[in-house]
Structure 1
């Protein structure tokens, strides 16, 4: 039962936990790390590791999406990013990476004012498909109706609708809202949608027919939603809530399983592992993959929130470079900082708790040790 705390006489707030506030408890049975499986599947698509590259220009380009795919992960291209606005965005990516911090956001707004070009959406997705990996692209809810037919015609395998908050019922007096349930029903490809940060919102998204639900709001390294609009969802509680919504939806739907995908705030391998233990089937990574040598951001990181023309809710930040993408995912690690060998860390945690697959790892024991109390 969730705990409510009295903020004042007229308002109560629910107690929520961040990933730093929880930890995994070893069990009486252990396994050999080499005996565990880290594979996961969404719809008909199988992957060796539960890692999704975030649709952010500092993380995923056509080249890095292909590299992730060949390593057994999934890269999602931002179809409203620089790769669909410019024929050759490389000079602009280099410029953004080199900007002084106090000038970065304004210049990002200027660069992203260039319109998205449908022909470039087609071209980029064809580049990824030609490499023989799973093709995934993301649009915001606001642009989905405008560009979805271009995306589907280009041969996307997984369609991602990603926003800071996505609801099954958006009410607007200014424009015709996206009817998610009808949209997903009419589409021939599986849809991942989010973000959701509580039980009710997630349950409604699952009822639309989505294949996966993204969990998270305002927790990423480049997000400033708490500072700008006062909204944030503690990730540990959000993941656990959405996983519970998934359990109830399975009962309601007669067994339909919706993938829960944690999105944002997993900056180190420990947080990545805990997100899976809390009930996520896969994790969408931003900053950790932005630290890879191949990352387009060249040691800097920014997201779609930074390019908003009137109220940016994120910024470009420096994350540094730690090594090749393969080292970030599979090691070896040479520092005990959780920035490399994410899959090795997952295997070790699964082995320590006695589980041999990610699905059963969600049953592991956890403790709460609030970060603020340490």
Structure 2
């Protein structure tokens, strides 16, 4: 069965769906929300919540990574961000939050032009480790070969290699690309890698030995990838495709399970519910956590694409402050817009459809039902 649509006589395209295009269907059974488990385990690390924080300066500082870890999630620090470029990045974070929109990109490029300092990578990761929570840090594929030894020596528990898109078969005529399979094989810690947005790309990443694959391609609130590059991956279809790759790789590898983590398009509680319903094991949250009063972005949100020195593919966006980190995750909710009590909403959705844990909930029925704003 094909769902391709004829765009013109010389081109056809497959129909793809965003989270706004799909909805979860109730089943014949319901449960009490307190009987539902939303725990998640990757490799040897167990988390009470299926939530990772996006490695963005507007979302994660060492302090907020610790706070999220104590609440049951996993904070991931951007090891190419301001925290590894400046002894005290607070003045720069404050300045970014006050920049005029027309000036923001250029000034951010200047601020982020300071070099990454290996001793600060070590100091920030050790600060998180001293708090007794799981330690995770992220590098882009371009910086991984330069800084991975520093990251591992600092005592990271989970290593994240994150880019707009990450390929197991990158080709370059200018430099030797990162050999992901060899790198992951030689590393002593689990690696989460992405993004990937297609079945084939995800399957190749799984074959490198990654413990988890991030699903997405510039689909977050602060990305402009679609308007700047013309590339976009509707997330419901992307997650379902990568979940199919996980299933097939499980058979191919004789039982090796690779976790699927949605990275992008999960701004509100309903998106989180639908991400897991489409097959995700966990979600990586950016804008949703940037709305917390503790977030370093002070009500603004941006990613590394926003200050790229040659081709910015993102922007600084104002997301406001909805509540504390604890309120965003656990409530109580003061509004009905899906910005508060994300985990409560997930529990309620799972209970309403009769599922007791995240793995079971991946089997829930989903329908195509494009969202109609009122």
Q: How would you bin the TM-score normalised by the shorter chain?
A: over 0.9
Q: Over aligned residues, Cα RMSD in angstroms?
A: 1.0
Q: Does 1:10 align with 2:14?
A: no
Please tell me whether the aligned partners of residues 25 and 365 of structure 1 are also in contact (alpha carbons under 8 angstroms): yes
**In structure 1, how many angstroms separate the alpha carbons of the residues matched to 2:342 and 2:104?**
30
The residue number in structure 2 matching 1:57 is 57
Matches within 5 A, 1:132-211: 132-211=132-211
The residue number in structure 2 matching 1:356 is 356
The residue number in structure 1 matching 2:366 is 366
Distance 1:2 1:120, change over 3 A: farther
Unaligned runs of 5+ in 1: none
Offset, 1:371: 3.9
Please tell me whether the aligned partners of residues 2 and 15 of structure 1 are also in contact (alpha carbons under 8 angstroms): no
Please tell me whether the aligned partners of residues 26 and 353 of structure 1 are also in contact (alpha carbons under 8 angstroms): yes
Matches within 5 A, 1:207-246: 207-246=207-246
Please tell me whether the aligned partners of residues 52 and 73 of structure 1 are also in contact (alpha carbons under 8 angstroms): yes
The residue number in structure 2 matching 1:331 is 331
Deviation string 1:104-127 (CA, Å, 9 cap, x unpaired) is 111110100001000000000000
**In structure 1, how many angstroms separate the alpha carbons of the residues matched to 2:341 and 2:190?**
30
**In structure 1, how many angstroms separate the alpha carbons of the residues matched to 2:103 and 2:226?**
21
Deviation string 1:249-299 (CA, Å, 9 cap, x unpaired) is 000000100000000111110001100111000000000100000000000
The residue number in structure 2 matching 1:117 is 117
Please tell me whether the aligned partners of residues 293 and 323 of structure 1 are also in contact (alpha carbons under 8 angstroms): yes
Range with bigger deviation, 32-41 or 97-106? 97-106
**In structure 1, how many angstroms separate the alpha carbons of the residues matched to 2:313 and 2:305?**
5
Deviation string 1:308-343 (CA, Å, 9 cap, x unpaired) is 001000000000001100000000001100000000
The residue number in structure 1 matching 2:268 is 268
Matches within 5 A, 1:31-50: 31-50=31-50
Matches within 5 A, 1:278-293: 278-293=278-293
Please tell me whether the aligned partners of residues 52 and 283 of structure 1 are also in contact (alpha carbons under 8 angstroms): yes
Offset, 1:100: 1.0
**In structure 2, how many angstroms separate the alpha carbons of the residues matched to 1:43 and 1:145?**
23
Per the alignment, in what secondary structure is the counterpart of residue 98 of structure 1? coil
TM-score by length of 2: 0.99
Q: Does 1:67 align with 2:54?
A: no
Offset, 1:364: 0.3
**In structure 2, how many angstroms separate the alpha carbons of the residues matched to 1:36 and 1:266?**
21
**In structure 1, how many angstroms separate the alpha carbons of the residues matched to 2:355 and 2:81?**
39
Number of aligned positions between the proteins: 374
**In structure 1, how many angstroms separate the alpha carbons of the residues matched to 2:372 and 2:282?**
28
Distance 1:352 1:2, change over 3 A: farther
Matches within 5 A, 1:70-81: 70-81=70-81
The residue number in structure 2 matching 1:90 is 90
Please tell me whether the aligned partners of residues 54 and 286 of structure 1 are also in contact (alpha carbons under 8 angstroms): yes
Unaligned runs of 5+ in 2: none
Please tell me whether the aligned partners of residues 222 and 303 of structure 1 are also in contact (alpha carbons under 8 angstroms): yes
**In structure 2, how many angstroms separate the alpha carbons of the residues matched to 1:69 and 1:228?**
35
Offset, 1:373: 10
**In structure 1, how many angstroms separate the alpha carbons of the residues matched to 2:99 and 2:252?**
51
**In structure 1, how many angstroms separate the alpha carbons of the residues matched to 2:73 and 2:90?**
24
**In structure 2, how many angstroms separate the alpha carbons of the residues matched to 1:180 and 1:218?**
21
**In structure 2, how many angstroms separate the alpha carbons of the residues matched to 1:202 and 1:70?**
31
Deviation string 1:76-104 (CA, Å, 9 cap, x unpaired) is 00000000000000000000011111111
**In structure 1, how many angstroms separate the alpha carbons of the residues matched to 2:9 and 2:165?**
29
Per the alignment, in what secondary structure is the counterpart of residue 76 of structure 1? strand
TM-score by length of 1: 0.99
Offset, 1:2: 4.3
The residue number in structure 1 matching 2:320 is 320
Per the alignment, in what secondary structure is the counterpart of residue 23 of structure 1? strand
